[in-house]
Amino acid sequence: MTVRDVLRFPHPMLKQVARALGEDEAKLTATVAADLVDTMRSHPGCVGIAAPQIEHLVRMVVVDVSEHPKATAKHGELVLVNPQVVRSHGAEVAREGCLSIPHLTANVRRATEIALEATDPLGEPVAIETEGFEARCLLHEIDHLDGILFLDRIASKQDLFRRRSYR
């Protein structure tokens, strides 16, 4: 539908908790889903985005790691409404970046395997088990729904880095 501007830290909406989308909000769900996909695709190398980043304070994320070399698990383009992590396992520290914090990256500890439940934009149930980079991306985007940025997850300032280049 529309490529939206991505909010940048310290915009206050990035620190707010998003509300769940109801079954009776099909039109809003479709609009947000299309805007998320279009916005993500407009940023080369982007693998995910959450609704609060484009000024929709609702629980929806889009992730697609299909073309990313670090991804071992690839479920294609995931458009998830009201996602919930139901199980997580393991831990690994790896570098993360974010469209909302374009000039920084950081080492962040995340689970290495997750299972989540959600619905798709049409209200159909979705259950995913994934690992590695795809799990990290999903956890990063779901954090946005709770007003959590990767900056909130760093252990120390030594884990924060200036991005060398940004597309």
Query: Which segments of the chain are extended strands (E)?
Result: 48-50, 60-63, 78-89, 92-98, 101-110, 113-119, 125-131, 160-162
**Residues contacting residue 106 through CB under 8 Å, at least 6 positions apart:** 95, 96, 150, 151, 153, 154, 159, 160, 161
Q: Is the pLDDT of residue 166 over 70?
A: no
Residue 117 confidence class, pLDDT cut points 50, 70, 90: very high
Residue 164 confidence class, pLDDT cut points 50, 70, 90: confident
Across 37-45, average pLDDT? 96
pTM > 0.75 = yes
Q: Is the pLDDT of residue 167 over 90?
A: no
- Cα-Cα end-to-end distance for the chain: 23
Q: Is the pLDDT of residue 100 over 60?
A: yes
The whole-number pLDDT of residue 165 equals 64
Across 32-51, average pLDDT? 97
What residues are labeled active site?
A: 141
**Residue range 66-94, pLDDT digits in tens:** 999 999 999 999 999 999 999 999 999 99
Across 145-158, average pLDDT? 94
Category of 132 on φ-ψ map: left (φ > 0), alpha (ψ -120 to 50) or beta: left
